[in-house]
Chain A
Amino acid sequence: MSRNPISEQEVLLLLNDILERYGYDFTEYAPASINRRVNHLYQVDRFPSFAEYRYRIISDPAYALRFVEEITVNVTEMFRDPSFYQALRTQVLPVLATYPSIRVWHAGCSTGEEVYSFAILLKEAKLLHKAVIYATDINAGVLEKGRKGMFRLSQMQQYSRNYMEAGGREDFSSYYTANYEYAKFREDLGEKIIFSPHNLVTDGSFNEFQLIICRNVLIYFNKKLQDRVLTLFSESLEQLGFLALGSKETLNFTSVTGKFKQLENREKIWRKVQL
């Protein structure tokens, strides 16, 4: 069709090429979204044929990296779904406060807007000094952006509104300085964040955490891969640790559902009640 010149079968060929040559495994992603993005990139980069697209991916590692970065979704915002952050602030942080040190894993953090949002929550709860946030993503390019802690100034009005809706009481602009078209977030917010590559499909656990945040990542996986990643999260959580997902994601009907209990509100936060 006009906007989908590359068939689902051909997309699978490309994903297998990427897996064999470069080790990135997208073969268990939900097909509809990945098909759309593979087709979109094909059209944006104006390839004359599928064969040339495939040849470029196989023969040009720099282009293959572009392919990997473009077919993964990196749309994010600060304090996305404010009521979710409100719930973190009022129901999760008071529990984390009781630990001598706090370890948080933000998986699939993209460019880091939500990681900085959470760091602000910790700062305001006077917990940031004893916390470490491991912020990981498959995509090295977005991690580099996250490390800089610079986000578009044009977004700040929206983010400030989200922050207030999430129960923020400070002056949001006190957390950054304007630098041309970017807002550079304060160094002390970034000090406890470790940005590091991690591939949820192929890499294992690397620590035990009291909170794992992974929002709008599982929606791109098929059921089987969702189950595997949720098992990884479950095994990486301490007893009574929290797992926080995106607003349309759920543990219902997954392999780990029996180990978790959802918090008593409508937010997507679960607590690990069974080892």
Chain B
Amino acid sequence: MTTAPYLIVIGGSAGGLQPILTLLPGLVASLPAAILIVLHRQSHYESVLTELLSSKSILPVREAGEKEPLLPATVYIAPADYHLLIESDHTFSLDDSEKVNFSRPSIDVTFTSAALAYGSKVTAILLSGANTDGTEGLKDVHEAGGTTAVQDPATADVDYMPRQAILQAPVDAILQPQEMAAFINRMAEV
């Protein structure tokens, strides 16, 4: 099976679920990219989240499994309480080491790992949230030649995370939630 040639990785914390629910229905099934969602949350609602996102998308939605290949046009959710890493052969690895930015999964950890594994073929999108997780990862994505985008803070339930990212990291696009699907569909066609 051929792994996805492109990767879209989306990170969100408090208020991050709403823009995801907005963008998912707009994604096209011909997407040559894997979509990876890292969302800070409590571990108890695992299966509920997968079902919820599934109901919003024509693409298959599943939890990212240990050593599984990243497939195109598939939406993956980072499991609670593990960091999610991407190997250079485009498979997932889980890691239960110390929290980063008080978070596990940490958005920074996955963004940086995505940048290492996918280089210029990764697009990272950072959403609403109350801490600064993700900012360092956006820098790494940019440095690797990838594309960085941030939710327009004016549209975020909690604007601290996108605002900090815009201040500290090179950001290629600032997006409203309803613009995100088109942005992703376009990026993947390049």
The answer to whether A75 and B66 touch across the interface, beta carbons within 8 angstroms, is: no
Q: What chain A residues lie within 8 Å of B140 (beta carbons)?
A: 1-4
The answer to whether B67 and A36 touch across the interface, beta carbons within 8 angstroms, is: no
Out of B87, B94, B109, name the residue touching A219 (CB < 8 Å). B94
Q: What chain A residues lie within 8 Å of B88 (beta carbons)?
A: 8, 31-32
CA A219 – CA B97 in complex, angstroms? 11
Q: Which residue of B lies closest to A30 (CB)?
A: B93
Q: What chain B residues lie within 8 Å of A223 (beta carbons)?
A: 67
Q: What chain A residues lie within 8 Å of B144 (beta carbons)?
A: 1
Q: What chain A residues lie within 8 Å of B143 (beta carbons)?
A: 1-2
Out of A1, A37, A220, name the residue touching B112 (CB < 8 Å). A1
A2-B139, A2-B143, A248-B66 known; A36 and B95 CB under 8 Å?
yes
Q: How far is the CB of A26 from chain B (nearest CB, A)?
A: 14
Check: A257 CB closer than 8 A to any chain B CB: no
CA A36 – CA B93 in complex, angstroms? 12
Check: B116 CB closer than 8 A to any chain A CB: yes
The answer to whether A248 and B82 touch across the interface, beta carbons within 8 angstroms, is: yes
A33-B97, A248-B66, A248-B94 known; A1 and B116 CB under 8 Å?
yes
Question: Which range holds the interface residue count of chain A?
Answer: 20 to 34
Q: What chain A residues lie within 8 Å of B109 (beta carbons)?
A: 36
The answer to whether B113 and A219 touch across the interface, beta carbons within 8 angstroms, is: no
The answer to whether A36 and B94 touch across the interface, beta carbons within 8 angstroms, is: no
CA A250 – CA B87 in complex, angstroms? 19
| Residue interface mask B82-125, A partner, CB < 8 A = 1 | 10011110000111111000000000010011011100000000
Q: How far is the CB of A8 from chain B (nearest CB, A)?
A: 7
CA A4 – CA B139 in complex, angstroms? 12
Check: A35 CB closer than 8 A to any chain B CB: yes
CA A32 – CA B94 in complex, angstroms? 9
A248-B65, A249-B66 known; A32 and B97 CB under 8 Å?
no
Q: Is the interface of B mostly helix, strand, loop or mixed?
A: mixed
Q: What chain A residues lie within 8 Å of B157 (beta carbons)?
A: none
Q: What chain A residues lie within 8 Å of B113 (beta carbons)?
A: 32, 36
The answer to whether A32 and B98 touch across the interface, beta carbons within 8 angstroms, is: no
Most A C-beta atoms less than 10 A away, residue of B79, B97, B144: B97
Tell me the chain A residues, 1-21 only, with Cβ under 8 Å from chain B.
1-4, 8
Shortest Cβ-Cβ A-B pairs, 8 listed: A32-B85, A73-B97, A33-B95, A30-B93, A219-B94, A32-B93, A1-B143, A216-B96
CA A1 – CA B85 in complex, angstroms? 16
Q: What chain A residues lie within 8 Å of B67 (beta carbons)?
A: 30, 223, 226
Q: What chain A residues lie within 8 Å of B96 (beta carbons)?
A: 73, 75, 216, 219, 246
Q: What chain A residues lie within 8 Å of B139 (beta carbons)?
A: 2
A1-B143, A250-B66 known; A31 and B87 CB under 8 Å?
yes
The answer to whether B66 and A33 touch across the interface, beta carbons within 8 angstroms, is: no
| Residue interface mask A208-238, B partner, CB < 8 A = 1 | 0000000010011001001000000000000
